[in-house]
Structure formats: structure tokens, C-alpha cells
Amino acid sequence: MNVKARSGFTLIELLIALLIVGIIAALGYPQYTRYLIKAGRSEGASTIMQLMERQENFYRDNLTYTTSLTALGYPSNTIESETGRYQISAGTCAGSNIRRCVLITGEPQNKQAADDTGNLTLNSRGVKSDNWPK
């Protein structure tokens, strides 16, 4: 009697392979989400820096800062970072007036809301929030 040789994987081999893939995914996913949060924070900081540059140009021309982002050429008084992870606005620094200091605040939105470090801030004196990307 001729017995054909069988080729392929057994059910046990497939289950072991799936188990290994599952373990790798379970270990890698938290790292991946932390990476995305950190990348989103960098994007928010970049947008805040661009807005601060416009504020400094406005100050140079008018000897005051502004809380109106439309005066800086934006379509509204709040803007979003490129991927919508931060909503950014301008306000007056605590204990000061708008002629002397402006505070730019980026509030996490959408997927970035999982970032438990809170808002990104930068004022015209160069003071950044503690969660500013390094």
C-alpha cells in the first residue's frame, strides 16, 4: 500500500504560531500608542511655535500681542494642528496684559485626548508647560 506523504501544518502548529503573534502584538501595541501620543504632542508644539512666530511679527508691527487669531491671518480664533490632535488658542498671561505677554494654549483633541499630561502652553516670555516635547 502506498501512503502519500502529507505536507502542511498541523492544528497545533497553527495555534502555537497564532499564540506567538498574539503575544508580540500584546507587547507592541502599548508602545505603539505611546509613540503616537508623543508624535501628536510634537505636532501640537510645532503648531504652537508657528503661531508664536506670527504673534512676534504682530508685536513687532503693533507693539502689542493679540488674542484674535484672525488678526494673524487665521480663519477663526481657534486653530487645529495639522491632524486635528490639538485645538490652539491665544490668551493673556496670568497677572499681565496683552501688551506685555500672550499665552498660547494647545488643548488635546480626538485621539490625543488620551494624553494625560494635559494642555501644551507657551508664552511670549518663552515659558513652556512641563509636558513640552523634548
Q: List the Cα angle 108/55/122 in 5-degree steps.
A: 40
pLDDT reported for residue 4:
62
SS3 of 2, please? Answer: coil
pLDDT digits (tens, 9 = 90+) for 57-108: 999 999 999 999 999 999 999 999 999 999 999 999 999 999 999 999 999 9
Q: Residue 86: count other Cβ atoms within 10 Å of its Cβ.
A: 27
* Residue 2, in any domain of the structure: no
* Residue 49, in any domain of the structure: yes
* Residue 128, in any domain of the structure: no
* Residue 3, in any domain of the structure: no
Nearby residues of 84 by Cβ (< 8 Å), 6 or more positions away = 109, 110
Question: Is the pLDDT score of 128 beyond 70?
Answer: yes
Position 114 confidence tier, pLDDT thresholds 50, 70, 90: confident
Give me the domain span that covers residue 72: 11-123
pLDDT reported for residue 27:
92
Q: How far apart are CA 111 and CA 103, in angstroms?
A: 24
Tally of structural domains, the chain: 1
The sign of the dihedral angle between the CA atoms of 52, 127, 88, 108 is positive
Question: Is the pLDDT score of 116 beyond 90?
Answer: no
